[in-house]
C-alpha cells in the first residue's frame, strides 16, 4: 500500500475507494485526508449556537453541562477499557515458552546437546482506534469530547454514496475544525456509487444480520462500507454514535406534541430504550472490529438519561433554528436532542437529524425505479416484480411491497437455503408476522425479519 505521504496515489486494496492524500497548500495541519482540502474559514459560514442555546433557563444550562460531563467521561472510559483489554491480551501471549537446543560441554570436554525452555517475547500490539464520523450531532459530540481528553483517532471514516450526501460537508468541517489538535490522524471519505454499495455489501450484510428488512439493510450497507474501510486501515476498535437518538428524542416519531402528557412521553422513550437493538456490533464483528458506543454506557449515560431527562429537556417545539445543509439558511423547526446540541458547540449542533441512508446519500435504493435500471444481477422489471410477488404470496405466504425488499429476500433465501432462521421460528400461514409469518413477541409491533409495521395480525391493547 502506498504511503499516505505520497500524493495523488490510490490504494488498490480499498477497492473502489479513493484514498488520495490531499496536497492542498492550505492543509498545513496534522490531519491527513483523501480529498481536496476545503478552507472553511474563507466561507463565512453562519452559526446559530447563541440564538439556539437557552442560557436563561437554569435547568437547561445544568442539563447540558451534565450531558457534556457524562459523555466525555463515557468516551474516556471506553478508550481506557480498550487499552486495558489490549494490554491484557499482550500479557497472555508474552509468557509463552518454547524449547531451545543448547550445545554444551560435559566435565570431560565432550559436546552434549540439551533441551532448555526459553520464554519468548512478542511485540506488543497497540489498539488502533477509529471513529465513524457521519458529521451528525452525535458523532461530532463524541469528537469534541475526545478533543478535550486528548484522545487520538487513527482514522475517522465518512461514507458518501452518490452525489446527494448532506454528511460530506459536515464531516469535512468537523475534521477541519480540529485539524491542529491531532484528534484525527487521517480522515477518509469513502465514495461509492449506489451500484457499488449494493454489489460490494448487500449479500454480505444480509448474511451478517440474517434479515431482509429494507430499512435495516439499507442503513447497514453504509455501516458495512465504513467497517470494511476501518479494517483496511488496521483499525481494531471503533467509536459510534448509537443510542443518542433513542435517549434524547432524535427521531421525528419520538417528538410527540407540546400538549402531550410528559409522563406518557417518558414512558414511551424509556420503553424504546429498554428494548433497543443495534446492528452495529454484528456488522463490526464481521470485519474483525469491536464497536463501542459512548451514549450506550449503562451508568454514565443510559441510566442517567432515563432517570433524569424529560421531554422539555430533549425536545424544542417550532423555535429551534435548524439547518438542512452546511452553508444553507436555517429554518425554525421542532427538533430533538436539545440538551446534547447545547452541550457541544460543533458545526453540526443545529443540523437536521438525518437517518444514515439520507445523510450518506444511500436512500435512493429504496425506490423501485432504482432496481428497474440498476446493473445486473439485481435488475428487476415491473412485470417480473409483480409476477414474483404474486407467486411469493401464493406459494410461501410472504407479502412483499417493494423491489428492494424482494431483492433482499431473494438473496436471503439463497444464503440461508429458504425461509429459515437459526433463532426465530416461522409459523404456519395465518400466524406470526402479518407479512412473513415469523414469530413475534406479544407486544412486538415491528418485524425484525421483513420490516412489517404494524406486524401483529391483531392489535393488542397493553395497559
**Over the stretch 45-72, which tens digit does the pLDDT of each residue have?**
999 999 999 999 999 999 999 999 999 9
The predicted pLDDT at position 108 comes to 65
According to DSSP, residue 294 is labeled G
User: Quick one: which of 405, 462, 393 has its CA closest to 434?
Assistant: 393
Q: CA–CA separation, 70 vs 376, rounded Å?
A: 49
Nearest to 348 by CA among 89, 135, 159: 135
Q: What pLDDT score was predicted for residue 93?
A: 58
For 16, how many CA atoms within 13 A lie in the half-sphere containing its CB? 16
CA 202 to chain centre: 16
pLDDT at 119: 57
pLDDT at 126: 84
For domain 12-78+126-363, give the fold. Answer: Rossmann fold (3.40.50)
User: Sign of dihedral through CA atoms 452, 456, 458, 463?
Assistant: negative
> Which three cell numbers mark 56?
436563561
Tell me the C-alpha distance between 218 and 141, whole Å.
25
Q: Helices (DSSP H) in 361-434: which residue ranges? A: 368-373, 382-391, 403-416
- pLDDT on residue 19: 40
At residue 102, the pLDDT reads 63
Q: Which residues of the chain have pLDDT under 70?
A: 1-29, 91-124, 459-463
> Phi/psi at 451 (nearest 5 deg)?
90, 10
Residues pairing with 190 in the sheet:
159
| Predicted pLDDT of residue 30 | 78
φ, ψ of residue 165 in degrees (nearest 5): -85, 115
Long-range contacts, stretch 436-442, CB < 8 angstroms, 24+ apart: 436/398, 436/399, 437/397, 437/398
Q: Tell me what pLDDT residue 104 has.
A: 64
Domain spans in the chain, listed from the N-terminal domain onward: 12-78+126-363, 367-416
For residue 125, the model assigns a pLDDT of 73
Predicted local distance difference test score (pLDDT) of residue 116: 62
Amino acid at each position: 500500500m502506498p504511503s499516505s505521504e505520497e500524493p495523488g496515489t490510490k490504494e488498490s486494496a480499498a477497492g473502489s475507494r479513493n484514498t488520495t492524500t490531499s496536497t492542498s497548500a492550505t492543509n498545513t495541519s496534522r490531519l491527513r485526508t483523501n480529498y481536496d482540502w476545503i478552507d472553511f474559514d474563507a466561507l463565512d459560514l453562519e452559526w446559530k449556537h447563541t440564538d439556539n442555546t437557552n442560557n436563561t433557563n437554569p435547568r437547561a444550562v445544568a442539563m447540558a453541562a451534565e450531558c457534556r460531563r457524562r459523555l466525555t467521561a463515557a468516551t474516556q472510559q471506553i478508550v481506557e477499557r480498550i487499552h486495558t483489554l489490549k494490554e491484557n491480551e499482550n500479557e497472555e501471549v508474552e509468557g509463552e515458552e518454547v524449547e531451545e537446543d543448547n550445545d554444551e560441554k560435559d566435565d570431560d570436554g565432550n559436546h552434549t546437546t540439551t533441551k532448555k525452555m526459553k520464554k519468548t517475547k512478542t511485540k506488543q500490539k497497540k489498539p488502533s482506534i477509529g471513529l465513524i464520523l457521519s458529521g451528525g450531532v452525535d458523532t461530532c459530540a463524541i469528537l469534541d469530547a475526545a478533543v478535550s481528553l486528548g484522545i487520538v483517532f487513527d482514522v475517522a471514516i465518512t461514507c458518501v454514496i452518490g452525489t446527494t450526501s448532506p454528511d460530506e460537508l459536515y464531516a469535512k468541517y468537523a475534521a477541519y475544525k480540529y485539524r491542529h489538535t491531532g484528534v484525527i490522524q487521517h480522515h477518509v471519505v469513502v465514495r461509492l456509487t449506489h451500484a457499488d454499495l449494493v454489489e460490494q455489501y448487500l449479500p454480505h450484510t444480509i448474511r451478517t444480520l440474517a434479515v431482509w428488512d429494507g430499512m435495516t439493510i439499507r442503513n447497514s450497507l453504509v455501516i458495512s462500507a465504513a467497517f470494511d474501510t476501518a479494517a483496511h486501515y488496521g483499525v481494531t476498535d471503533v467509536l459510534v454514535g448509537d443510542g443518542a437518538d433513542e435517549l434524547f428524542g432524535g427521531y421525528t416519531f419520538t417528538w410527540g406534541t407540546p400538549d402531550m402528557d410528559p409522563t406518557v412521553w417518558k414512558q414511551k422513550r424509556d420503553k424504546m430504550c429498554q428494548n433497543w437493538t443495534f446492528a452495529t456490533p454484528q456488522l463490526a464483528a464481521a470485519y474483525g472490529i469491536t464497536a463501542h458506543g459512548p451514549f450506550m454506557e449503562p451508568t454514565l449515560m443510559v441510566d442517567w438519561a432515563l432517570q433524569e431527562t424529560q421531554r422539555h429537556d430533549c425536545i424544542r417545539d417550532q423555535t429551534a433554528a435548524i439547518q438542512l445543509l452546511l452553508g444553507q439558511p436555517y429554518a425554525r423547526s421542532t427538533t430533538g436532542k436539545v440538551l446534547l446540541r447545547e452541550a457541544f458547540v460543533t458545526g453540526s449542533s443545529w443540523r437536521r437529524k438525518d437517518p444514515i441512508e439520507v445523510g450518506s446519500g444511500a436512500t435512493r435504493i429504496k425506490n423501485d425505479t432504482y432496481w428497474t435500471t440498476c446493473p445486473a444481477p439485481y435488475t428487476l422489471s415491473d412485470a417480473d416484480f409483480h409476477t414474483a410477488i404474486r407467486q411469493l404470496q401464493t406459494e410461501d405466504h410472504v407479502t412483499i411491497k417493494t423491489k428492494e425488499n424482494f431483492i433482499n429476500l431473494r438473496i436471503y433465501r439463497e444464503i440461508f437455503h429458504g425461509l429459515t432462521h437459526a433463532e426465530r421460528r416461522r409459523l404456519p400461514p395465518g400466524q406470526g408476522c402479518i407479512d412473513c409469518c415469523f414469530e413475534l413477541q406479544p407486544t412486538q409491533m415491528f418485524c425484525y425479519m421483513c420490516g412489517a409495521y404494524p406486524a401483529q395480525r391483531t392489535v393488542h391493547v397493553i395497559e
